[in-house]
Structure 1
Amino acid sequence: MTEPLLEARRVSMQFGGLTAVNQVDLAVHPGEIVGLIGPNGAGKTTFFNCLTGMYRPTSGEVRFAGALLPPKPRRVAMAGVARTFQNIRLFHNMTALENVMVGRYCRTRTTALDAVLRLPRHRREEAETRAHGLQWLEFVGLEGAVDALARNLSYGDQRRLEIARALATDPRLLLLDEPTAGMNPQETREAEALITRIRWLGLAILVIEHDMRFIFSLCDRVTCLVRGEVLVEGDPATVQGDPRVIEAYLGAPVAGGPEEGDRA
């Protein structure tokens, strides 16, 4: 196994007296797809926010490619980590292409003065950013929606557009927060195929998802969080068959209740 690309070491996040994430260790290796599962309120998105600089962990550290990852979203993106959100965050009054171009600007050097004066560097980088955006729209299957406003796209297309914007940052690691939430079965299958193609590009992927069929068919490893702590980690078959995971999602049997085999 290669050295981890991303390594979270004993990461904790507290809000006052509430511990949302407690001493979580997690590693993602190059080219690997890792799933992060757990019931509602398990701390999955809070943990994502710690990884991407939106929250400064109360304790612990996050390393990327061996270096300490600063808790600042822009610097995290520049280091090579991109993400999508559980609740879609697009610029709804901008076109699909403009949304993707926004993601690319963390890789450009144009200043405000360059843009105002339309200096050669600004014109060159703007043309490169546009070409880059068109490529990613085609990659996710939105080449026909270049000039469409984001708000007019279907829900599934908005999800794909958010992924295209994340890819435009040229990441080495992509974090996906419930990428199939609200999708129908056909859209879910398309999302799975897209994520597989992203892995073929050489990216590592960490994904939060409640669709267990999606997670267990896609991921190389799965980590289950419960009440902010790692309950179990392993290959999909190991995690899927662990009775603690089943109990975390379904709850423990009621004392004196019907046996499992008697349940409808």
Structure 2
Amino acid sequence: MTVTDEVTPTAPAVGGVVLEASGVTMRFGGLLAVNNVNLTVSEGEIVGLIGPNGAGKTTFFNCLTGLYKPTSGQVRFAGKPLAPKPRLVVRAGMARTFQNIRLFGNMTALENVMVGRYCRTSSGAITSILRGPKFRREERETRAKAQELLEFVGLGKVSEHLARNLPYGDQRRLEIARALATDPKLILLDEPTAGMNPQETRQASDLIFKIRDSGLSVVVIEHDMRFIFNLCDRVLCLVRGEALIEGTPAEVQSDPRVIEAYIGAGGDDDDDDVQDAEVKS
């Protein structure tokens, strides 16, 4: 299969810059995990981040979302410097999912999404303890919004099911719904199709396009080359913590350095994916 075998939904017009990372570098002692990486994401854009295992993709994500404070460089969101604190990053309008699912297994799907929504509520501790009128109003609004988001990701009928009892693909979608509950302008997805079968992967692609069409920007880390090249407007390839190439999917997948980077990383399944996904002349 080549990328020309699938039809990518037409992207809306790209707007102003949402995220701008400049010269982001992250050192762990003597290990240089990310070295002087730049990334710009505009409104209504889907950007892919690829690279062999150990390329620094998730470390770069962690720098963007405040889990790590970069050794050097700057992250700006909506034109303002972004403090390297996850709580402030979320409140600014950036949400993320994780490579390993991090749901509250003993809570229902609805409750998991409600947790994500609480960053947008304003009830204080006393009001919450006393369950005053403001708390009850915000609780109703939070529950309604959570149910709306479950419907959006296709999980409306399982809102009262425990998260741990949901199929794997549904748990991935639940994580996305929880991230959306924070009212982000930009959502970062770390390997959203990891472990999924082909049908679930297609559903994930449709959901990401749906998120984009709702007005959000998206950044995706993914090892599935067919998925990423059919999904994204631009792709950035990292190798050993450095940017190898950034461009359109056609430009990236036809660059011999990208194929060489994967082959040099050990010849795993991603090598075949890159070669099979090349645009045929």
Q: TM-score, normalised by structure 2?
A: 0.89
Quote the offset at 1:3 in angstroms. 3.6
Q: Provide the aligned C-alpha RMSD in A.
A: 1.1
Same amino acid, percent of matched pairs: 72
> What does residue 208 of structure 1 align with?
221
1:194 has 2:207 as partner: yes
**Which of the residues 227, 230, 238 maps onto 2:243?**
230
Residues 33-74 of structure 1: per-residue CA shift (max 9 Å, x gap): 000000000000000000000000000000001000110001
1:232 is paired with a residue whose SS is strand
By how many angstroms is 1:116 displaced?
1.0
Residue 134 of structure 2 is aligned to residue 121 of structure 1: yes
| 1:22-171 alignment, distance < 5 Å | 22-171=35-184
- Aligned partners of 1:2 and 1:193: how far apart in 2? 22
1:251 CA drift (Å): 2.1
Which residue is equivalent to 1:262?
A: none
What secondary structure is seen at the aligned counterpart in 1 of 2:35?
Answer: strand
AA in 1 matched with 2:55: A
Residues 118-171 of structure 1, C-alpha deviation per residue, up to 9 Å, x if partnerless? 111100000000000000000000011111010000100000000000000000
- Kindly provide the CA deviation profile for residues 158-192 of structure 1, in whole angstroms up to 9, marking residues without a partner as x: 00000000000000000000000000000000000
Q: Note if contact 2:185-2:217 (Cα within 8 Å) is conserved in structure 1.
A: yes
Per the alignment, residue 276 of structure 2 pairs with none
Partner of 1:182: 195
Kindly indicate whether the alpha-carbon contact (under 8 Å) linking 2:108 and 2:160 is maintained by their aligned counterparts in 1.
yes
1:203 and 1:138 mapped to 2: Cα distance? 18
What is aligned with 2:270? none
Task: Report the AA paired with residue 201 of structure 2.
Answer: T
Counterpart CA distance in 2 for 1:112 and 1:133 is 22
Match of 1:16 in 2: 29
Is the Cα–Cα contact under 8 Å of residues 15 and 44 in structure 2 kept in the other structure?
A: no
Unaligned runs of 5+ in 1: 254-264
Deviation string, structure 1 residues 5-55 (Cα, Å, up to 9, x no partner): 100000000000001000000000000000000000000000000000000
Please state whether the residue corresponding to 2:174 is helix, strand or coil. helix
- Whole-Å Cα distance in 1 between the matches of residues 15 and 141 of structure 2? 34
1:2 positional shift: 4.3
Q: Which shifted more, 110-119 or 170-179?
A: 110-119
Q: 1: distance between equivalents of 2:32 and 2:118?
A: 35
Q: How many residues align?
A: 253
In structure 2, the residue corresponding to 1:5 is in which secondary structure?
A: strand
Measured in 2, the distance between the counterparts of 1:163 and 1:11 equals 26
In structure 1, distance between residues paired with 2:40 and 2:236: 10
| Counterpart secondary structure, 1:31 | coil
TM-score, structure 1 length as denominator?
0.94
Q: Unpaired runs of 5+ in structure 2?
A: 1-13, 267-281
Give per-residue Cα distances to partners, 1:74-131, cap 9 Å, x unaligned: 1000000000000000011100000000000000001121111011110000000000
Q: How far apart, in 2, do the equivalents of 1:190 and 1:108 lie?
A: 31
Partner Cα separation in structure 1 for residue 128 and residue 38 of structure 2: 44
Mapped to 2, the partners of 1:233 and 1:60 lie a distance apart of 19
